Amino acid sequence: MIRIEGLHKSFGKLEVLKGITEHIHPSEKVVVIGASGSGKSTLLRCLNLLEMPTSGRIFIHGEEITGGRHDVNMLRRKMGMVFQLFNLFPNYDALGNVTLAPIKLLNMPKSAAEDLGMHMLEKVGLTDKAHEFPSRLSGGQKQRVAIARALAMNPEIMLFDEPTSALDPEMVGEVLAVMAGLAAEGMTMVIVSHEMAFAREVADRVFFMDDGVVLEQGKPDEVFSHPREARTQEFLARVRK
């Protein structure tokens, strides 16, 4: 479904991705772990071209999205993205956040979009907060609205960029539960996360990134219980402390 070939990304002189070649299959859940600065967020952001790869190619359904000829906006409709800091639109209420893209992009009538929006909010358990503005929501609620917002465009792939890192510990669970539900429905998901327990439970594959490359990958059990690389062992030891 997603094919990555020789992906490089530099910011000025700093090379963040140093050649990544991977293939992610339909309905697969990939959790990307690694120390900060290892390039995991950049990898994720390259997938929907929020960052332009310096070199290398990315294919979705066999169609190349790099190279400048592909319609970026059409690509992004098919890929939902959830950010670490939620990035809800403060000038719209929860429902407005969810319905904005369907109304503007799919020319959906307002009432139909609101039906859809309510359905999405129901999925994340927030129908009662539909008319609250983001400033009145807790972190966990904000992140769930953000997930509903991404789902409203009916994406084929969901990208999660450290979705629980900015949350108070007691709110992490509600967000992970929503994500687990999504995984159970068969959504293709790429998740950058530090939640090892969640990764173990949900992931089909775990990527361990280090210094701009995927140093080690495999089923969660293999990577977490029997890491082959010294760097992986070191990292896992550090996060488990």
Size, binding site for another protein by CB under 8 A: 31
Which range in 72-80, 194-202, 207-215, 229-237 contacts another protein by CB under 8 A? 72-80
What is the pairing mode between strands 14-24 and 2-11?
antiparallel
144 binds another protein (CB under 8 A): no
161 and 83 Cβ atoms separated by less than 8 Å: yes
As a whole number of angstroms, the distance between CA 87 and CA 66 comes to 26
81 binds another protein (CB under 8 A): yes
Which lies closer to another protein via its Cβ, residue 87 or residue 217? 87
Which lies closer to another protein via its Cβ, residue 82 or residue 202? 82
Residue choice 113, 149, 172, 202 for contact with another protein (CB under 8 A): 149
141 binds another protein (CB under 8 A): no
As a whole number of angstroms, the distance between CA 200 and CA 191 comes to 12
195 and 188 Cβ atoms separated by less than 8 Å: no
Q: Which of 127, 104, 117 is nearest to 150 (CA)?
A: 117
Which lies closer to another protein via its Cβ, residue 101 or residue 215? 101
Residue choice 16, 108, 150, 167 for contact with another protein (CB under 8 A): 150
Provide, rounded to whole angstroms, the least separation between the CB of residue 94 and another protein: 12
What is the pairing mode between strands 188-192 and 157-161?
parallel
Note the Cα 161 to chain centre separation in Å: 5
Helix or strand (DSSP H, E) at 160: strand 157-161
Q: What angle do CA 4, 160, 229 make, to 5 degrees?
A: 60
As a whole number of angstroms, the distance between CA 159 and CA 59 comes to 16
Instruction: Return the structure tokens found at 129.
Output: 């907060």
164 binds another protein (CB under 8 A): no
Which lies closer to another protein via its Cβ, residue 114 or residue 216? 114
138 binds another protein (CB under 8 A): no
Which lies closer to another protein via its Cβ, residue 70 or residue 231? 70
Provide, rounded to whole angstroms, the least separation between the CB of residue 102 and another protein: 9
- Amino acid at the residue 197: A
68 binds another protein (CB under 8 A): yes
| Contacts to another protein by CB under 8 A | 48, 50, 52, 68, 73-77, 79-81, 83, 85, 87-92, 100-101, 104-105, 133-135, 146, 149-150, 153
